[in-house]
Every structure is written in C-alpha cells, then in structure tokens.
Structure 1
Amino acid sequence: MKTFWAILLAAAALACAAPAFAAETDEDEPLSTAKLTVEEAGRLLATGRAAYEDGLYRLARRRLEELVAGAPDKRRQAEGALWLARVELAAERPEQALATLDAYVGGARAQALAANYAWTRAEARFAQGQLAEAAAELDGFREKYVAQDVAPVALRLLARIFMARQDWSGAERVVELIEARHPKSSEAPSAAMELAAALAVARQNDRALATLARIETNYAGQIWSERAALKAIELQLAQGRRPETMDRLREMAANKSLRPETRAQGYRLVAEALGAETNYPAALKTIDQSIAAAENPVQRLESQVAKARLLLQSGATEEGRELLRGVAAKLPDETRAARLQLGLADELARMAKWDEAAAEYQVWLDAFAGAPGTAQVLAGRGWALWSAGRPEEAAAAYAQAAELETDPARRLELRQKLGDAQFASRRFSQAKEAYAAALAAAPTGSAAAIRAQLQLAESELELGETEAGEIRLLDLSRTEPATEFSRAAAMRLGSLYEDRGALESAIEQYGRVVETCAEPESCAQALLARGLIRYRMGAFAAAMDDFTRIRDEMPRTKPAEQAAFMRGWCFYLLGKDAEALRVCEQFLKDYPASEFAPDVRFWLGEHAFNHGDFAEGERRFAEVAAEYPDRPRAADALFWAGRAATAQRKYLAANEHYNALMARYPDSARLAETLLAQGDVLSELGQFAAAILAFNEVIVKFPQTPEALVAWGRKGDCQYTLGQETPDRYEEALLSYRTLLDFAGAPPDLRLQAGYKVGRCLEKMGRAAAALDRYMDVVYAFLQEEAPPAEANVWFTRAAFGAAALQENAGRWPEAARIYGRVAESGVPAAAEARARMDRIRQDHWTAP
C-alpha cells in the first residue's frame, strides 16, 4: 500500500519539476567536429546546460558532444565532458557517464572542475552500486575540496552511501560535518532528513526520532524545523502512538503562523491517520483542508492523490477513480499521467476490486496504447479479469500481452496464464495450443516446462484424447527425481483410475506419491485418497492405517480433519463401537467447526438410539437440526429426533419434531416417511381423525410407493378403531384394506396383514361366513409360500386363530381342530399353542384326529 502511494506521490512531484524528456523523432544531425571559437564553445555549453536542466537530454547530449569534439582547449573540453556525463546520468546511463569522465579527466586541472569531476564520478559509481568506490571518490571533500561550491552536495551523497551500507554512525558524522563546514547550505538539513527517513525504514525508530528532534531544534523558525516535526509525528503515528501525537498534529495544521506547506502536510497526515482508523468522513473533511492550505502545486497534487486513496478505501470507488483520473488529466506529460492511471488500476487490483481494476487498465490502454509498459498493463488487466471470473476476456488480454512482451521469462509466464484462462473458458483446443507453446519455450526439465506438460495433459483429457493425456501424465509421474508436478501427475492418474473403477491401479499411484512426497500436505492428500479407496473396498484396517498415519505424522495438514473423521467410521465398521465413540467425541473437541461435525454428531445420536438411550439420541438429533439447519443431515436429524421421542412415549414432542421437519424441509426425501410416523404418533395420542389426514397425504402425494401401501393399511387401522363407536367406519376400513390388497407387487406380509384385517372387519360387521373365507385365504396363502417372511407369521397365526374361533362359536369342532392342526404343523412360534387348543377340542368334544 505505502509503496503504491509513494510512487503516485513521486509521480505527482515530478509533474511540477523540469519537463520530461519528450520523444524526438527528427533524424540525428551529423556531429560537427570543426574547431570552435571560445565564443561558440560558450554558447554550446550554455545551450547544453539549459537543455539538461529542462530535461531535453537528447538535445543536451548533441550540443555537449559538439563542444567536446571541437573545444578550443582542454579545460572547455573537460567542462563539456562533465556536463555530458551528467546528461548520461540523468538518462540512467551511468556506465557511459563514467567512460566520458575517464576520457577527459586530464583536462580538469582547476580545483573547482576537479571537485565537480570527483562528485560526478561518485554519482556514477553510486548509481552502479559501487559503494566503496563512490565513497573513495568523495574523500577529498572532507578537506581538499571543502571550500568548493559542490562540497555540500558531494558530502550529502557521501552520507547516502553510508546510509546504503546501514552505517548509521558514519552517516551521522557526515551530516554533522556538513552542518559544521557548511552551516548555511540547505544540504545539511536535507541530508539530516534523509538520514531520519533511512533510519525509519530500517526500523531504527528511536535514532530516527532523535535525528528529527535535532533538526527541529537546530533549525527552529525555518521550514526544516516544521518538516522535521511533521516527519516525527508521522513516524510516531506509524508506531501506533496516536494519543500523544494527534493533538499536536491538529495544532500544527490549524496554526496559521506556520508555513502553508507545513499546514497542508499536517492536515494530510491527520487525514491519513483518521483514514487508518476508518473514520472516513472526518478524514475526507481534513484532506479537503489540506488541499485548500496547499499553495505549492506539487503538494496540492499530493493531497489530491491522498484524497483519492481515502475515497477508494471508504468505498466511494467511483468518486476516487474520477478524482485520480482528473489528477492524471492535468499532467502535461503523458508518461507521468500514464503512471498515475496505472497506479489507480494497480491499487484497485490490490483492493480486490477486480471489475473496477479491469476497467481502469482498459482506460490506460485506450489513452496510452503503444506506450512503454503496454504489455504489463495488458497482463494486469488479464489478471483482474481472471480474478473477476471472466476467463474469456482474460484470455484475450493475456494473448495480446504475450505478443507484445519482449522478456522471454515474462512471455512464458503469460503463455501459461493464457492457457489457464482458455482452459477455464472450456476452450480446450486453444488451451492446448497455448500450453504447447509454453512447453516449447520453457527450458527442458524446468518447473515451467513440467507445469505446461501437466496442463497440456489436462487439456488432452478434456478433449477426449484420453490415451495421449494419460501417457503424458504417466511420463510425468515417473520423472526422477520426483517433483511437486510429478506427484501431481500421479495424483491425477489415481483420480482417473478411481473414476473408472480401477481401484487397485489408483492405490498404486497414490502409493507412489506417499513414497516420494517431500512435504506433508501432498503426502497427506495421497494417504487420504488411498485410505478412502481402501475404505470403499471394505479394507477398513488398511484404511485405518492410512488415516492414523495422517493423524500421527501430519496433524496440521488439511486432510488431517477428514482422516480423523474417517477413523471413527473405520472403528465402527470394524465392530469397535467404544473406540468409534471415543474418536468421534475427540473429533468434535479438535474440530468443532468442521464440515464433518454434523455427520459425527448425527452418528452419536444414532449410537445412543441403537443402544436404547433414546433421551440422549433425541437430544443429539435435535441439536444437529438446530445448529446445522442448512446441512443435508438436518431433515434426517428431525425425523430421528421424532423416532427417539416416540420410543420414549413422548408423542407430543415427537409430533413437534415431525411438524418442524415438514415446515422447514417440504421437499425432503423423508416427507412420506415422516407423515407415516406422524400418523402413528397421532394414533397413539388417540387423534385418529388427524392421523387419517396424515395417511391420506401420503396416499395422495406419494401414490404407487411403498409408503402409500403402508398408509392405506394404517388408515384402515384408524378407521377400524373408530368403528368401535361408529360401526359405519368398518365399511371405510374394509375399503382401505381391500385397496391395499389390490396393489400389484404388494409384499406378502403386507397382503396377509390386509387380508386378515379384511376378515376382522367382516367379523365386526356380523358377516361371519365372509370373515371365515378371508381368514382362510390368508392361511392358505401363507402355507403356499415357499419361504414366507418372518413378519407374515403373526398374520397367518391371527387369521388361523380367528377362523378357528368362528368355527368353535358355530360348534363346528372338527373344522376348528383341523385349522389349529395346520398352525401346529407350520412350525410358527404359535405352533405349540395351536396344538394345545387342538388337543383340548378333541378331548372335550370327542373329536377324532
């Protein structure tokens, strides 16, 4: 953040400095080598210096080269070479500057000229990072050249060299030397301010504050004192020392006796401090005061840039963008305007305002197309579009950037990104071409080449070129030594094999990753993948080994959470319920916010339910539903909470759980089952009419389903019960049971139950003969089943006993005995009871066997 705004402010400052070096398109004039007169040499020197000061470096270079080539004497030649070297330095060509100075140093005999040569040589060496050599060039300014006009400037450069070395004591001594030898020079306080800034950057805060305090005292009444005070306040604010500095800062900003520069900067610092506290209304009000107080155009521009920053941070993105655009538009120099516009786009990108950033990059492209940096801007726009989820547009930007980029490494990176954007756009053929180009450009065996190879394989797979893609992945997976990309290839192969059901091959690939993994995350991912396959294959002990290894060796990796979850399931499926319970309880302590927590808590409810602790089961199920209402387990949890309440005979509570399920999750797959369960609960509460409504809802909403079959039977049961008070309800019950009997594909036990209940209704209606027929239909149907389900035993027994009772009531003892005999011979649980009844009839009524 600070770097960005420092660049913007630097650009703003440059805007009001000497005009920039404008592009010159005229062809070079032939260099004159004619001998110059003293007067001509003087004019060329004056012209060259003026052009240099105005930033017209090409013109300055031409005129000074003419002077050097045709100088009437060595002194003037050396003087021309000195200024030519300064032009080269300004054009960021320190090597040429040094070569020029070396070529003509012999003519610099006068001490003033020699001093300037020494200073300029030091500047050139400093620009090249040759700190020791630069310092050696400046040694003469301590004594030999101390009286020269350039001495303060040279000593300030020496102080900078010490700062670059972080030799703070050396820098302080040089600053003191400037102050002692050149007390009236502005270079002394300038050097001291630079030292304070360098100390602050190096986190030598106490030393920086001491330096600033000395400036404030030594230059009291001067602008330097005010600047030092502001810099000290800025540093203290950065340290978080707000209470003791904000009041002083406000006082300085409001003090009209201080210079406008100081007040403007003070207001700006207050505004930035308020902005850091997110007090944007006050910050914006204060920055407007800074703009109003600033008389210097550069400072006003700085404050406007700061205001734009505050607007962006406060969420007033459009207003901030417009202001910064306006600032850029006021700059006469396109290069600096472009820099400001690019800074705006970069800042929006840093703030993750991707659509806005993309728009500002486009503004730059519309205004400065073809300017230096176009490839960089296109790349920035591509990234903003990619991050905004607009991969097709990102691909277009990356394609243009790659075409313009001249640096091979950057061009390679852009081709990779181009491929990624096209892949994300599902333009797999184009992605394949981009990755192939990246592969061709990347050094053989490099990370970039292997990455391109991996993405090329993915493109081939998406294009249906499965064999080519898998061969490429296989080659990558066998790369020696193993790399993150070779392991990624092996993981991808494992996933492909897993998807097609080749589980053993998948296990082999994941195992190769486990054997070669260099860092915990990839190793844990491979172990988890292998463990999950083993779990699917029923190899729970082997799966447990993988999950446990993750827990023991890689506890801080992402897969550790799921591995801990799966350990509980492995224990459960291995029949170790106590261990499973312990692992699940520990999981909730270790990962309370886990995505698996609802499943674990649901299982704990199941565990309690299955072990007969229905109260605990209800509590746990209800908690899952309450705490995870948007998770898939919520509806199931409410259903089982109702079942657990029913098991405790808490029918009202059960009904509340079922009502909640149907209200919150009307599309739940459990709806039919829930309506059935609710009907049963209402039946237990004696609310048979309400229960019938629940069963009817199942019948209407879910016809031709197993639940509908059950609902017809339960509805008949309610109607039968109501028939005890209203006999007409037996007819309704009879219709319900007969409807169930007519269902094609109804399971045998349900058909037998319905048949028995039809007989029971007929018996209640006084139609004994018809009831007997129905009872015996059930008996004969059961006996004809080769392997009747266990659930059918009870209906066979009840039907047989009901039929026998009717025969007994009619005095048909032999017929009754024969019916009991069929039950006795069937081997059902009631066989002994049936035999006893048969024997009693034969004994009491002399019935023959």
Structure 2
Amino acid sequence: MFQAILKRPEGTPHPILLAALFGIAEAHLQLKTPETGDDVLERFIDRNHADPDLPLIFAKLDELYRAEHRPSRNELEKWVRRPEQPRRTFARWYLARLEIHAGRRERARQLFTDLRRTGVNSPAIAPALFEFAEFEIDDGRFDEAIAILDDARLLRPDPALLTRIAFLSAQAQYLARRFDTATAAFEQIAQGDSPWTKAALFNASSGWLQVGNHTRFIADYSQLEKQGGDEQSRADLRLEEGLMQAAKGDKKAAASLQRFIHDFPKNPRVSEAWVGLAELAFHSSPPRLEEARKNLDRAIETGPTDAAVERADYLRIWVEEAAGGDESKVIALAKRFLERHIESPFAPEVRMKLAELYYRREDFANAQTQFEIIAQQNPNDSLAERALFFAGESTMSSMGEHTLDRALVLFDQVVQKKGAMRWAARNEQAVIERKLGKPNDALTLYDEVLKSDAGASEKREALCGKGDIFFEGGTSDPASYERAIEAYDQLAADKVGSIHWRNQALFKKGLCLEKKGDRVGALATFYKILEDESRPGERRELFWYYKAGFNAARLLEEDSKWESAVAIYDKLVAAGGSRSEEAKARLNNIRLEHFLWTD
C-alpha cells in the first residue's frame, strides 16, 4: 500500500505521503534491510529539496544509515555539492555525523562550519548547531562552542532546546575554568521549571566550590536538598567540598572529609575521602607518614571505588619513598601501579619515578627502557624531553654494543624538540663524538652551542669541552695547547660563573703550560686557585682546589723547594676536605725526610 502511494503521489495529502515514507522505512528497519529502505527516502529527498518536513525525513534517513554496517554517503555528498536549500544544509549536518562516526573529525568540522555559515535561518537548524558545539567541546575548543551556541539561540528554537543550549554553554564556560560566569548561568537555569533544574543546582554548587565561595555553595546545596536532590548528588557535592578544600590547602579540608564519612557512611565514595585524608597527612609539614598509611588502609578496607584504588596506589609510592626505606619496595609499588592503571593520567609521572629509581641504582638498561616508553607514549607531554635526555644518559652509561650510536640518536631527538634541554643534549652528543674518536665532529657541536641562544651553563660546558679537545690534541700538535689556553682563559674570566668552572679552567690551563714546558707559568696558575678559592656567598670548591694544590706541590718538590711545598700541603690539610688526610701524610713525610719540623 505504501509503495502504491509513493508511485502515484499526485493529489495525495502531504501527511499521507509522509506516513507512507516512514511506514516503508520502519518496515525495512524491522526486516533488517535498511540498505533498501534508505533508497526510498533518498529518492524522495532528491525530488523534493524544499519539502517542509525535511528535518523529519533526514532524521529517519539517519536512523536507517545508523542501522547499516557501511552506509553509503553518495547521496549526501551529492546534495552537499548541489546548491538547493534547505536540503544542502541538512545534508551537511547528517554527513558530518557520518564523518564523526568514521573518525574523520576535520572533515566533520568543515561540514559543520559550512552549515553554520549557511543562509538558512530556521529553528530546525538549531539542533545541528547544538551538535556542532558538543563536537567542539569534545575537542577542548570551548570558546568556539560558546559562540556556536550563541548562534543557535538566535534561531529561536523551542524552549526545551533553548534550555539545553543554555546548559551546554554554561558547561563550556565551566570547562574553560570561567567559574564565575558558568555558575551564574547555572543558577539562572535553576530558577526555571525544567528537567535541568537539579543538574543546574548541582553544577552551580560545584562552581561555588571552585571560586571558594562557601556561603553560596551552602545556599545552592540547601536548595538542591529542598528540591529533592538525590542522596548521591548531595554526597558527591560534600565530597567535592572536602577534596577542593584539600587541593587549595584549606585548613577546613580534614573536617569536611571527616563530616562526609560521618554523614554518608555507606556511600561507596567514602574510600575516596579516606584517600583524601591520607593525602592531607602526607602533605603536612612535617609529613605524617604513619597516619597516611593508616588512612590508605582504611580506604582499601571500605570497598574502594576505582578512583580511590588508583589514587591510593599512586600515593603509596610517594609515602614509601619519603619513608626512606628499601628502594626495591618503591620500585615494586611503581611497577604494580603501571600494571593496574596503565591508562591513568598519573602513569607518565609514575613511570618517570620508576625510571629515575633504576637510574639511581645504576640499572641503566631498565632505566633506558622506561625513559623511552615515556617519550614514545607521551610525545607532547612536558616529561617527554626530559625522558629522552635521560634515556640518552642511561644508554651512554650502559655497556651494550652500539650504545653510543643509540645515545646519539636519542640526544638528537631531544634537540629536535627545541626545548629547554636542547643544548645540553648537543653537549652530550659532543662528549660521545669524543669517545668515538671524532674530535672535529665534537668541535662542530660545541661551536653550535656557543653560537646559539643556549644558557650560560651550557655555553660554559661547551667552552670547557673545546678546551679539553685542544688539550688532548696537544700530544700530536703542540700548537693546540695555545688554543686550549685561550678557551680556558675565556672560561676563567667569567665573573658570573661558579667558582667550580673558574678553578677547573685555571687547573687545566696550568696543565697546558706544564706540557709546553712553562713550569713557572703552570705553578703561578695553580697558585691562583689556592689564593682565591672562594667567592662571597658561595660554597667553597674543593675538587679542583685539591688538584691544583697537589700539582703545585709536586712541581715544587721536583724543584727541591721543600718549604714551599710544605706551605702548600699545610693549606690542603687546613681545607678539611676529602683529601686532607692524603695531604697530611705527604706533609709528614717531607718534614721527616728533610728535617723541616717547626716548634
């Protein structure tokens, strides 16, 4: 019967035609032959581009498409290309839906954008704009979503959709962290009589927590309670109150969480409150580690939610590390967390901690593996650059075959990120080239750092590295010592750098002078370190101080200047560092051998 009506539609009232169309479509849905049913609707739309019931017909066509395994988009694509309206606008809408389902989000965005710019100003288009706004919110484009919803309002949709538009706009403001604006909008929605009233009151209460207005939170919470808000919603708000206070360091947080546990003892989220109390104990000054452990145990005993288990497993790692016990226990906890919660937002941070623990234990193979996983799984995360850098460091420190080549690749990946560790990575590459016996390649890398916008510390390291290469080259080319001295002089002249760099540069300059046969110059250079070993407000540097002292004393002993050598050793003993006993032993030997005892 339906087919007969559609074959000879002349003179048939429009409602009858529409009923016939929908009857055929529904029959094919029941028969599970939607591919045949959509042909009937497509033919009708093709012949009636301005039918007043196009919104309903396209909606039914979309229902058929969704029932198909691989719906054809040919007709929609054809109508999108053709100018007839309003068919073109509806085709864009429903083709965008298909593209979203297929994962082609950029094409969907373009179709929605074209739809938004269309000249069709009908309330029937408002639901399409609403979907477009939801799409943009999913992609974190909150301001764009709000602008789209403003356009939807101008189309004057029915009151129910208008309320949904207002609610979604307020949600977008909330997600954009404009809590004042969002909360005001939610309160306005709550004043109306709609199915969204309680949800709006809930969100308004949450918004007041975000801005720290506890009085307004209580007012909206009480209103929600009066309007019969369900117990779970009220419990969620009370828990959020305590957790929000804890996040902001509010002293009332512990009391709020304890009150939640008291008022909602059977709520499944009680476990989350116990974890919150554990976090407060851990972050107190000083940390109350035993209390944190007990609260975590209580959380697990109460039948924890997935969120509570995740946060408890996360916190235990840091509690045990802070306790300063066996690192193996911390490693085991970190590995367990990654096994249980691989999709957790905390996973990259936990993996970084695991990698650092392996690195600290000189388990470089495992450290490298974990660092590389972080970089591969989170290429755009702030941890990625640091992870790649330390993957390179781990590789350099391991003894495997071809490790230096792999380290070069990893450090180059750091450089390509153009982040804060870029030039430190270049310096490490230069160190590797030196180990591989390629000093010229290393010099090229050091020069790149020195000519760049690298920080002062990276440039000092590069300058020192250049000097070291020239020093090593002095064995075959004595003129290279002079180039090394130039680099060391430049480094020592840096008044801003630490005393460590100055003393290192002077010591190495002294070695160069000694290699050149200038023993007097070498001794004078070593004396500069011994006479000016510290700067105001800076910790005393002893490593290069001792090296300079022992080398100066050696030169003096070789020239039989025993009293001068004794004076040097006296200074080294008085320094009170790790080599003072060595200096004391040498001092006593010289005095015994050369009768230099004093009263």
TM (norm. structure 2) is 0.72
Stretches of structure 1 lacking an aligned partner (at least 5 in a row) = 1-7, 22-53, 55-196, 198-226, 239-268, 276-283, 292-301, 330-340
Could you say which residue in structure 1 is the equivalent of 2:469?
718
Which of 471, 475, 478 does residue 219 from structure 2 map onto? 475
Q: CA deviation at 1:616?
A: 3.0
Task: Work out the percentage of aligned pairs sharing the same amino acid.
Answer: 19
Could you say which residue in structure 2 is the equivalent of 1:794?
543
What is the distance in 1 between the residues matched to 2:454 and 2:245? Answer: 42
**1:587 aligned onto 2:587:** no
Flag the 1:572–1:13 CA change in 2: closer, same or farther, 3 A. farther
Q: CA deviation at 1:485?
A: 4.7
Q: CA deviation at 1:733?
A: 1.5
Which of 14, 19, 30 does residue 13 from structure 2 map onto? 19
Report if aligned partners of 2:76, 2:95 keep a CA contact under 8 Å in 1: no
Could you say which residue in structure 2 is the equivalent of 1:610?
360
Could you say which residue in structure 1 is the equivalent of 2:497?
746
Report if aligned partners of 2:375, 2:387 keep a CA contact under 8 Å in 1: yes
Which of 364, 387, 392 does residue 134 from structure 2 map onto? 387
What is the distance in 1 between the residues matched to 2:542 and 2:259? Answer: 57
What is the distance in 1 between the residues matched to 2:329 and 2:181? Answer: 54
Q: Deviations over 1:577-633 (max 9, x none)?
A: 333222222233333444444443443332222223233333443444455545444
Flag the 1:309–1:672 CA change in 2: closer, same or farther, 3 A. same
Report if aligned partners of 2:464, 2:487 keep a CA contact under 8 Å in 1: yes
Q: CA deviation at 1:435?
A: 4.5
**1:658 aligned onto 2:383:** no
Q: CA deviation at 1:752?
A: 2.2
Letter in 1 for 2:13: P
Could you say which residue in structure 2 is the equivalent of 1:272?
36
Q: Secondary structure at the match of 1:617?
A: helix
Report if aligned partners of 1:814, 1:848 keep a CA contact under 8 Å in 2: no
Flag the 1:649–1:679 CA change in 2: closer, same or farther, 3 A. farther
Flag the 1:9–1:769 CA change in 2: closer, same or farther, 3 A. farther
Report if aligned partners of 1:554, 1:560 keep a CA contact under 8 Å in 2: no
**1:505 aligned onto 2:252:** yes
Q: Deviations over 1:672-698 (max 9, x none)?
A: 332333333333344333333333333
Report if aligned partners of 2:209, 2:241 keep a CA contact under 8 Å in 1: no
What is the count of residue pairs matched by the alignment? 547
What is the distance in 2 between the residues matched to 1:345 and 1:799? Answer: 79
Q: Deviations over 1:153-195 (max 9, x none)?
A: xxxxxxxxxxxxxxxxxxxxxxxxxxxxxxxxxxxxxxxxxxx
Letter in 1 for 2:571: R
Deviating more after overlay: 343-352 vs 527-536: 343-352
Q: CA RMSD in A?
A: 5.2
Pairing of 1:162-561 with structure 2 (within 5 A):
238=32, 269=33, 271-272=35-36, 313-316=71-74, 318-319=76-77, 377=124, 380-381=127-128, 383-389=130-136, 390-398=145-153, 401=156, 405=159, 410=160, 414-415=162-163, 417-421=165-169, 424=172, 435-442=186-193, 448-455=196-203, 469-477=213-221, 483-487=231-235, 489-490=237-238, 493=241, 497=245, 501-513=248-260, 515-516=262-263, 532=279, 534-537=281-284, 538-543=287-292, 557-558=306-307, 560-561=309-310
Q: CA deviation at 1:554?
A: 5.8
Report if aligned partners of 2:209, 2:217 keep a CA contact under 8 Å in 1: no
Report if aligned partners of 1:342, 1:364 keep a CA contact under 8 Å in 2: no
Report if aligned partners of 1:638, 1:660 keep a CA contact under 8 Å in 2: yes
Flag the 1:558–1:460 CA change in 2: closer, same or farther, 3 A. closer
Q: Deviations over 1:71-105 (max 9, x none)?
A: xxxxxxxxxxxxxxxxxxxxxxxxxxxxxxxxxxx
Q: CA deviation at 1:845?
A: 3.5
Report if aligned partners of 1:345, 1:358 keep a CA contact under 8 Å in 2: no
What is the distance in 1 between the residues matched to 2:518 and 2:469? Answer: 21
**1:675 aligned onto 2:398:** no
What is the distance in 2 between the residues matched to 1:431 and 1:624? Answer: 36
Letter in 1 for 2:147: E
What is the distance in 2 between the residues matched to 1:605 and 1:800? Answer: 40
Name the larger-Rg structure. Answer: 1
Stretches of structure 2 lacking an aligned partner (at least 5 in a row) = 17-22, 47-56, 102-107, 137-144
What is the distance in 1 between the residues matched to 2:535 and 2:377? Answer: 53
Report if aligned partners of 2:546, 2:572 keep a CA contact under 8 Å in 1: yes
Could you say which residue in structure 2 is the equivalent of 1:647?
397
Letter in 2 for 1:796: Y
Letter in 1 for 2:76: E
TM (norm. structure 1) is 0.53
Deviating more after overlay: 609-618 vs 768-777: 609-618
Q: Secondary structure at the match of 1:814?
A: helix
Flag the 1:417–1:644 CA change in 2: closer, same or farther, 3 A. same
Q: Secondary structure at the match of 2:476?
A: coil
What is the distance in 2 between the residues matched to 1:656 and 1:619? Answer: 12
Flag the 1:813–1:327 CA change in 2: closer, same or farther, 3 A. closer
Q: CA deviation at 1:814?
A: 2.0
Q: CA deviation at 1:730?
A: 1.4
Q: Secondary structure at the match of 1:745?
A: coil
Pairing of 1:777-792 with structure 2 (within 5 A):
777-782=528-533, 788-789=539-540, 792=541
Letter in 2 for 1:819: I
What is the distance in 2 between the residues matched to 1:489 and 1:360? Answer: 39
Flag the 1:520–1:724 CA change in 2: closer, same or farther, 3 A. farther
Q: Secondary structure at the match of 2:570?
A: helix
What is the distance in 1 between the residues matched to 2:383 and 2:9? Answer: 64
Flag the 1:583–1:548 CA change in 2: closer, same or farther, 3 A. farther
Letter in 1 for 2:355: G
Could you say which residue in structure 2 is the equivalent of 1:43?
none
Flag the 1:673–1:509 CA change in 2: closer, same or farther, 3 A. farther
Q: Secondary structure at the match of 1:313?
A: coil
What is the distance in 2 between the residues matched to 1:9 and 1:351? Answer: 32
Report if aligned partners of 1:415, 1:438 keep a CA contact under 8 Å in 2: yes
What is the distance in 1 between the residues matched to 2:439 and 2:117? Answer: 72
What is the distance in 1 between the residues matched to 2:450 and 2:380? Answer: 28
What is the distance in 2 between the residues matched to 1:511 and 1:350? Answer: 49
Q: CA deviation at 1:773?
A: 1.8
Report if aligned partners of 1:762, 1:770 keep a CA contact under 8 Å in 2: yes
Could you say which residue in structure 1 is the equivalent of 2:141?
none
Letter in 2 for 1:613: D
Q: CA deviation at 1:702?
A: 4.7
Report if aligned partners of 2:204, 2:220 keep a CA contact under 8 Å in 1: no
Report if aligned partners of 1:436, 1:456 keep a CA contact under 8 Å in 2: yes
What is the distance in 2 between the residues matched to 1:584 and 1:757? Answer: 44
